[in-house]
A and B are shown apart, each in its own frame.
Chain A
Amino acid sequence: MATYVLAEFKDEAALCAAARRMRELGQKQLDAYSPVPVHGIDEALGLPKSKVPLIALIGGLSGAVGGYVMQWWMNGVDYPLNVANRGAHAPPANIPITFESAILLASIAIVLAVILLSGLPRLHHPVFDVEGFRTASLDGLWLSAEVPAAEGEGVVRELQKLGATQVERVAEEQR
């Protein structure tokens, strides 16, 4: 069972520095929390580039292709009708919907991606057990490390050493 060690820092520089230090110390399961994105925290935590753009591209392309194929198949193949002497498959008329479905699917893909990649929805998380952590969405800057219960004490000390204003330990509850 994992233990989360949470530490609050008073400014971004301290937070980034602490993150970097913790990583140097071999901590892998690190995360930082802040009301707004923190400059440099991605490198500090060694986070890889987000996959969201790729997913958006896939969503958009499949929307465009799907949208066009749908129109072509429905009006041009499955039930071709003579509509005002226009060809059953009328490419210029298919542009708007192709575009719209591309945007729609891309957007939905993006939103689903950002939610799922961020591990959401997850109403409960062990870090929420720390009362003080409520500042993380308002004005606080927090760093967390997920460590085996045995290592908890060491990490707490290390973080205090890095200038954390407060450090809390919380154990992941049995679900």
Chain B
Amino acid sequence: MPSLTPPVPKLPIYGQPSSDGRRHWQSLDALAAEPATAPSPEFPEGADSPPDGLARRTFLQILGASTALASLDACRPPRQKIIPYVRPPEKPLLPNTAVHYASALTLNGYATGVLVTSYDGRPTKVEGNPDHPSSLGGVGMHELATLLDLYDPRRAKGFRRGQSTLAYRSLLRELSALAATHQADGGARLRFLLGANASPLLAELKKRIQQRFPRARFHAYEAAGHDAEREGARLAFGRALDVRHRLDEARVLLSLDADFLCHGPDGLRLAREFSAHRESGPEMSRLYVAEAHLSVTGAAADHRFRLKPSEVLGFGRAVAARLASTHGLGALAPLVGPTRLAREANAVADDLFRSRGRSLVLAGSRQPAAVHALAHALNAALGNAGRTVEYAPAVYDEATGPGELAALAADAAAGKIDTLVITAANPVYTAPGDVDLAAALAKVPNTIYLALREDETSPRCTWNLAAAHPFETWGDARGHDGTVSIVQPLIQPLFESLSEVEVLASFVDAADAGAWTILRESWQRRRGGGNFAGDWDRWLARGVVPDTATVAEPAAPRFDAVAAAVRAAPASAAGLEASFVPDTKLLDGRFAENAWLQELPDPITKITWDNAAYLAPATAKKLGVENGSKVELRLGGNKIEAAVWTVPGHAEDVVTLPLGYGRRRAGPVGTGVGFDVAPLRTAATPWFAPGLAVAPLGRAKHAFAPTQEHFSMEGRDIALLFDAKAFGPEKIEHLRGPVPTIQKPVDYSKEPYKWGMGIDLTKCTGCSSCAVACQAENNIPVVGKEQVLRSREMNWLRIDRYFTGSPEDPQLVAQPMMCQHCETAPCEYVCPVNATVHSDEGLNEMVYNRCVGTRYCSNNCPYKVRRFNFLDYRGDMSPTEKMVMNPDVTVRTRGVMEKCSYCVQRIERARIGSRVEGRKIKDGEFTTACAQACPANAIVFGNLADPESAVSKLHQSERRYDVLHELGTRPRTAYLVRLRNPNPELT
């Protein structure tokens, strides 16, 4: 792949001062040396690196391969080879030592800053970038799981036009020639369909293309975009504004169907700010959520109002009515309307008013613009604007909704398009039922599709180009607040591929320079003068370009326009309503081929490897169906088949249908998993529509694979939930403190460290980032649906979900559960071979290489957190799949028990590092993967021997208790009871 080699880019390491010295970087893919893709079986790029001789040559792991590809092999294998550098890089990387690079990942338009851990040139882990305003150090499941996509051996490779394969150079030549044919009519028959992306570079390229082809048109499409937010702001304020919530100021929150803690461009930051104010006391915030399906945010709510999606607007209007009538907020008077939950609406309104200026109304992206406008009006009337909510010029303002796609399809079907470039994510699959994009594409002579994988759209397109993974290419991106990040590659493309930047650049004949040059020159122009090279290095090192955030500006809503829109919105109709939601894990289906996410239990239902038609138990009863029943769903003229699953707390007469499943052409992971609900959507009603008909099919039941089948605590003190006002430490006195024992407790005070963990259930939203982070950090295998059905999932960290109260309006607790590192661990004394014992610092160690697999430890573990390699889950890894392995963690073989180790590899790294330097490990110097990922700071890890450490403080909290304390296991992981802050008027 000589042509793909970026010239001489360099990668300043995160957190290190950068130098102006030229440090050159090429790739390390000899690790991957796949005969199929490499020109010569070994060291392909050694042979074809640029002649300046400064590029870094192959570095095959010096000690790495053995550990990276570790298996527990007892025999004496043949002598291995050690492959050193030919010429070391100027600043050689220490072999087998992690370095972190800052980059950014864009999802649905906006970027989240990440730090990527790289071993010997292999990215192995994604962390949040604490310097990035949308991450603050937290990271979401999608950013984490992106890594797995990078190494997917079934990614698209190379470039195809029709049946013929194109090399990189000839592809660029042909694209260039194709572009030239559009020159004559100014590109009138040239169209682009892009995904949402606020990237300045893409914007610039679009501008350049537009200059060359003034009549060419750009469309944007996201199956689950944020159009309504932008539209709502435009409606309310008359201009394109981004809404920036400031939850650190908010004390009373009303979410109108907004799953802001999980979905949304700023979810990580909002989760952190929200959780920061869930401490008991007068400052404890209160969250009301009006929604149909239980969302992560709904599960965190103090009060949930179960409403059809179409009723949410009415609820908001009723709140407005109370505010207008009782509290004298006259401006809201034109907005008022009725709701069936009047008592609740009144109470919410009273509460919002009491905290005016410190309250906040949020609207969900599935709700129409009118609801967003209503929220703006409410916030303005309550005096929240400028305090708990800010408005700033839109970072990205293009229509990305299904309307755009419908218009494009219509033009295509009418034969108005000769060339269509598609970089949007799989539009043929995500298109609503009434947009026949597949048929329309057939009418376009040249359809150029850039995608990471072959998917439903690929066969409909005449050109299929393999897209480079974000970790393989250069680019830029903007966070929700406008902060720019440079996207830098961590590895040379594993497969022949190119980036969106290069595709667009080829239409202005600029692709030859490569993404790096295009990007750098673009920023050089923008920055102008100064010490650009130095700035550039600093941007890369820090992961953000300073002073690029948008500045908030005052904005006042036009109440009359809002009122008009609100009144024009259709009223809620009786009968069954279909409600479409982007799936928590797969979103619109773009992560369907990601096995980590497929196997991750849904945060609420705990279902893996499936979606379902979710409905309330009462509705299910009415329809005569139960969990697993197959049904036919009809809406408008369209119908699909699906299986139902009941969810306590789901609104009645609504069927929630998550997008992203039922992929027909995804790959071995995602194809045929779940049910495709997109055919029921229409461009006009993409998110909810009345008139759904459900007919049970009465056939054999669908086998769902939930990781948790029982959601009641059976009256046991497991995940504790108290009303903040009713809680006192005496209520949990029996769940902590010393237990009577005949064993003299081991004295851990001789060691400088005593590791422990604290998990604050009040902060935990159950978003599941930690579970994916753990999977990535600890080389945890994916086992597949069959094995999950057999209850053999491997996640070391699971998030237990308990429902209490009535099935109609349950209260929920999410409880991250992993090895508790009991000081008197029941697992240890039953192991016949001493494969699980205690360390001098109190860790419950699991020694894989000693384990013979009696599984007795698991039987005796009251928390059932041990995982067993029932089958060889690692046997048939491709070379690239092996590259995702963390070389610091042994890859477990078949027949071995495993479990959470408190990320002991990180402990040992930190210990060795500090001891070589002759100092002690500082609190916060490192933490476990789960704690690091947690957007809500719910998990804290550290040294209990240090009374000042964060974890010690959690352990001393009056909310602290031990799970199954009465067993006397003395766990090192303490939980803090979950507190709710209900409104006394509603209880």
Do A and B contact each other directly (Cβ–Cβ < 8 Å)? yes
Question: Which residue numbers of A lie inside 8 Å of B, CB to CB?
Answer: 81-87, 93
Q: Roughly how many angstroms separate A81 CA and B837 CA in the complex, as a whole number?
A: 7
Contact B837 A85 (CB under 8 A): no
Q: Roughly how many angstroms separate A161 CA and B746 CA in the complex, as a whole number?
A: 84
Contact residue among A81, A85, A86, A87 (Cβ-Cβ distance under 8 Å from B834): A81
Q: Roughly how many angstroms separate A81 CA and B843 CA in the complex, as a whole number?
A: 13
Encoded as 1 (CB less than 8 Å from any A CB) or 0, chain B from 539 to 564 comes to 00000000000000000000000000
User: With A82-B840, A84-B825, A93-B829 given, can you name 20 additional A-B contacts, CB distance below 8 Å?
Assistant: A81-B834, A81-B837, A81-B838, A82-B746, A82-B837, A82-B838, A82-B839, A83-B828, A83-B831, A83-B834, A84-B822, A84-B824, A84-B826, A84-B828, A84-B838, A85-B743, A85-B746, A85-B823, A85-B825, A85-B838
Q: Tell me whether B745 is interfacial, beta carbon within 8 Å.
A: yes
Given the complex, which residues of A lie within 8 Å of B744, measured CB to CB? 87
Q: Roughly how many angstroms separate A57 CA and B827 CA in the complex, as a whole number?
A: 38
Given the complex, which residues of B lie within 8 Å of A85, measured CB to CB? 743, 745-746, 823-825, 838, 970
What are 28 A-to-B residue pairs whose CB atoms are below 8 Å? A81-B834, A81-B837, A81-B838, A82-B746, A82-B837, A82-B838, A82-B839, A83-B828, A83-B831, A83-B834, A83-B837, A84-B824, A84-B825, A84-B826, A84-B827, A84-B828, A84-B829, A84-B838, A85-B743, A85-B745, A85-B823, A85-B825, A85-B838, A86-B743, A86-B829, A87-B743, A87-B744, A93-B829
Q: Roughly how many angstroms separate A86 CA and B837 CA in the complex, as a whole number?
A: 11
Given the complex, which residues of B lie within 8 Å of A82, measured CB to CB? 746, 837-840
Question: CB within 8 Å of A: which of B637-654?
Answer: none
Looking across the interface, which residue of chain B has its beta carbon closest to that of A75?
B834
Q: Roughly how many angstroms separate A175 CA and B645 CA in the complex, as a whole number?
A: 88
Looking across the interface, which residue of chain B has its beta carbon closest to that of A85?
B824
Encoded as 1 (CB less than 8 Å from any A CB) or 0, chain B from 265 to 295 comes to 0000000000000000000000000000000
What's the minimum C-beta distance from A93 to chain B, rounded to whole angstroms? 8
Q: Roughly how many angstroms separate A122 CA and B173 CA in the complex, as a whole number?
A: 96
Question: CB within 8 Å of A: which of B804-829?
Answer: 822-829
Q: Roughly how many angstroms separate A83 CA and B823 CA in the complex, as a whole number?
A: 9
What's the minimum C-beta distance from B755 to chain A, rounded to whole angstroms? 14
Contact A83 B829 (CB under 8 A): yes
Given the complex, which residues of B lie within 8 Å of A83, measured CB to CB? 828-829, 831, 834, 837-838
Looking across the interface, which residue of chain B has its beta carbon closest to that of A81?
B837
Q: Roughly how many angstroms separate A87 CA and B824 CA in the complex, as a whole number?
A: 11
What's the minimum C-beta distance from B782 to chain A, rounded to whole angstroms? 32
Q: Roughly how many angstroms separate A109 CA and B840 CA in the complex, as a whole number?
A: 43
Q: Roughly how many angstroms separate A84 CA and B746 CA in the complex, as a whole number?
A: 9
Given the complex, which residues of B lie within 8 Å of A81, measured CB to CB? 834, 837-838
Interface band, chain B: 10 to 19
What's the minimum C-beta distance from B840 to chain A, rounded to whole angstroms? 8
What's the minimum C-beta distance from B446 to chain A, rounded to whole angstroms? 69
Q: Roughly how many angstroms separate A85 CA and B829 CA in the complex, as a whole number?
A: 9
The 5 closest A-B pairs by CB, nearest first: A84-B828, A82-B838, A85-B824, A84-B829, A81-B837
Given the complex, which residues of A lie within 8 Å of B831, measured CB to CB? 83
What's the minimum C-beta distance from B751 to chain A, rounded to whole angstroms? 12
Scoring A82, A83, A84, A93 by chain B CB atoms within 10 A of each residue's CB, the highest score goes to A84
Looking across the interface, which residue of chain A has its beta carbon closest to that of B830?
A84
Query: DSSP majority for the B interface?
Result: loop
Q: Roughly how many angstroms separate A141 CA and B374 CA in the complex, as a whole number?
A: 115
Looking across the interface, which residue of chain A has its beta carbon closest to that of B741?
A85
What's the minimum C-beta distance from A83 to chain B, rounded to whole angstroms? 5
What's the minimum C-beta distance from A125 to chain B, rounded to whole angstroms? 47
Given the complex, which residues of B lie within 8 Å of A86, measured CB to CB? 743, 829
Encoded as 1 (CB less than 8 Å from any A CB) or 0, chain B from 831 to 862 comes to 10010011110000000000000000000000
Q: Roughly how many angstroms separate A86 CA and B823 CA in the complex, as a whole number?
A: 10
Looking across the interface, which residue of chain A has its beta carbon closest to that of B970?
A85
What's the minimum C-beta distance from B837 to chain A, rounded to whole angstroms? 5
Q: Roughly how many angstroms separate A83 CA and B743 CA in the complex, as a whole number?
A: 12
What's the minimum C-beta distance from A99 to chain B, rounded to whole angstroms? 18
Given the complex, which residues of B lie within 8 Å of A93, measured CB to CB? 829
Given the complex, which residues of A lie within 8 Å of B829, measured CB to CB? 83-84, 86, 93
Given the complex, which residues of A lie within 8 Å of B970, measured CB to CB? 85
Question: CB within 8 Å of A: which of B727-748?
Answer: 743-746
Encoded as 1 (CB less than 8 Å from any A CB) or 0, chain B from 159 to 173 comes to 000000000000000
Q: Roughly how many angstroms separate A87 CA and B743 CA in the complex, as a whole number?
A: 8
Looking across the interface, which residue of chain A has its beta carbon closest to that of B836?
A83
Scoring A83, A85, A86, A87 by chain B CB atoms within 10 A of each residue's CB, the highest score goes to A85
What's the minimum C-beta distance from B600 to chain A, rounded to whole angstroms? 32
Looking across the interface, which residue of chain A has its beta carbon closest to that of B831?
A83
Q: Roughly how many angstroms separate A86 CA and B831 CA in the complex, as a whole number?
A: 13
Given the complex, which residues of A lie within 8 Å of B828, measured CB to CB? 83-84
Given the complex, which residues of A lie within 8 Å of B837, measured CB to CB? 81-83
Looking across the interface, which residue of chain A has its beta carbon closest to that of B968?
A85
Question: CB within 8 Å of A: which of B658-683?
Answer: none
Q: Roughly how many angstroms separate A85 CA and B738 CA in the complex, as a whole number?
A: 14
Looking across the interface, which residue of chain B has its beta carbon closest to that of A82?
B838
Looking across the interface, which residue of chain A has its beta carbon closest to that of B838?
A82
Encoded as 1 (CB less than 8 Å from any A CB) or 0, chain B from 335 to 378 comes to 00000000000000000000000000000000000000000000
What's the minimum C-beta distance from B866 to chain A, rounded to whole angstroms? 14
Given the complex, which residues of B lie within 8 Å of A84, measured CB to CB? 822, 824-829, 838
What's the minimum C-beta distance from A72 to chain B, rounded to whole angstroms? 15
Q: Roughly how many angstroms separate A85 CA and B840 CA in the complex, as a whole number?
A: 11
Q: Roughly how many angstroms separate A82 CA and B838 CA in the complex, as a whole number?
A: 5
What's the minimum C-beta distance from B388 to chain A, rounded to whole angstroms? 50
Looking across the interface, which residue of chain B has its beta carbon closest to that of A90?
B829
Given the complex, which residues of A lie within 8 Å of B825, measured CB to CB? 84-85
What's the minimum C-beta distance from B714 to chain A, rounded to whole angstroms? 27
Q: Roughly how many angstroms separate A81 CA and B836 CA in the complex, as a whole number?
A: 10
Given the complex, which residues of A lie within 8 Å of B826, measured CB to CB? 84
Looking across the interface, which residue of chain B has its beta carbon closest to that of A74?
B834
What's the minimum C-beta distance from B458 to chain A, rounded to whole angstroms? 56
Looking across the interface, which residue of chain B has its beta carbon closest to that of A93?
B829
Looking across the interface, which residue of chain A has its beta carbon closest to that of B826?
A84
Question: CB within 8 Å of A: which of B583-600?
Answer: none
Q: Roughly how many angstroms separate A93 CA and B744 CA in the complex, as a whole number?
A: 16
What's the minimum C-beta distance from B918 to chain A, rounded to whole angstroms? 28
Q: Roughly how many angstroms separate A93 CA and B832 CA in the complex, as a whole number?
A: 12
What's the minimum C-beta distance from B832 to chain A, rounded to whole angstroms? 11
Looking across the interface, which residue of chain A has its beta carbon closest to that of B827?
A84
Q: Roughly how many angstroms separate A82 CA and B824 CA in the complex, as a whole number?
A: 9
Q: Roughly how many angstroms separate A112 CA and B460 CA in the complex, as a whole number?
A: 84
Q: Roughly how many angstroms separate A85 CA and B748 CA in the complex, as a whole number?
A: 11
Q: Roughly how many angstroms separate A169 CA and B484 CA in the complex, as a whole number?
A: 114
What's the minimum C-beta distance from A73 to chain B, rounded to whole angstroms? 15
What's the minimum C-beta distance from A104 to chain B, rounded to whole angstroms? 18
Given the complex, which residues of A lie within 8 Å of B834, measured CB to CB? 81, 83
Q: Roughly how many angstroms separate A123 CA and B793 CA in the complex, as a whole number?
A: 61
Given the complex, which residues of A lie within 8 Å of B746, measured CB to CB? 82, 85
Given the complex, which residues of A lie within 8 Å of B839, measured CB to CB? 82
Q: Roughly how many angstroms separate A93 CA and B743 CA in the complex, as a whole number?
A: 13
Q: Roughly how many angstroms separate A93 CA and B831 CA in the complex, as a whole number?
A: 13
What's the minimum C-beta distance from A84 to chain B, rounded to whole angstroms? 4
Q: Roughly how many angstroms separate A84 CA and B744 CA in the complex, as a whole number?
A: 11
What's the minimum C-beta distance from B692 to chain A, rounded to whole angstroms? 56
Q: Roughly how many angstroms separate A84 CA and B838 CA in the complex, as a whole number?
A: 7
Encoded as 1 (CB less than 8 Å from any A CB) or 0, chain B from 946 to 970 comes to 0000000000000000000000001
Given the complex, which residues of A lie within 8 Å of B745, measured CB to CB? 85
Q: Roughly how many angstroms separate A37 CA and B834 CA in the complex, as a whole number?
A: 51
Q: Roughly how many angstroms separate A163 CA and B743 CA in the complex, as a whole number?
A: 76
Given the complex, which residues of A lie within 8 Å of B743, measured CB to CB? 85-87
Q: Roughly how many angstroms separate A30 CA and B410 CA in the complex, as a whole number?
A: 118
Q: Roughly how many angstroms separate A30 CA and B826 CA in the complex, as a whole number?
A: 64
